[in-house]
Amino acid sequence: DVKVTQSSRYLVKRTGEKVFLECVQDMDHENMFWYRQDPGLGLRLIYFSYDVKMKEKGDIPEGYSVSREKKERFSLILESASTNQTSMYLCASISRTGVRHEQYFGPGTRLTVT
């Protein structure tokens, strides 16, 4: 069973704080992703990573950074949290078997910035 875990289900932070969201997968997956999801806007890709120390910008990277020091862990960092970063944050990883690949999501972190 694929398992993707996220460090917190709910988080409340103040404007200007540095925020760390952690994601861990236990299946040796290479590709990992961070999304945010907002009503009416759907899922939007922030950053993704193909391997340790590799990162690629997604569609909305501004205001975010990421870290992938170990294969199983992909961290999303909000350098200086702002109220417009209040959202549901979803981590995902891809399972590959031959040409087939399937993406699995963690449970999500609902972040509120006040």
Partner 1 sequence: QKEVEQNSGPLSVPEGAIASLNCTYSDRVSQSFFWYRQYSGKSPELIMSIYSNGDKEDGRFTAQLNKASQYVSLLIRDSQPSDSATYLCAVYTGTASKLTFGTGTRLQVTL
Binding residues vs partner 1 (CB under 8 A): 31, 33, 40-43, 45, 48, 50, 58, 90, 99-108, 110
Residue with tokens 């990883």: 93
37 vs 67, beta carbon nearer partner 1 = 37
CB of 86 to partner 1, least distance (A): 15
**By C-beta, is 39 or 84 nearer to partner 1?**
39
Nearest distance, CB of residue 83 and partner 1, angstroms: 21
User: How far is the C-alpha of 32 from the C-alpha of 76, rounded, in Å?
Assistant: 11
**Shortest Å, Cβ 16 to partner 1:** 27
Token digits of residue 21: 């969201």
The DSSP call for residue 5 is: E
- 58 vs 63, which CB is nearer to partner 1? 58
Token representation of residue 67: 């870290």
Beta bridge partners of 100: 97
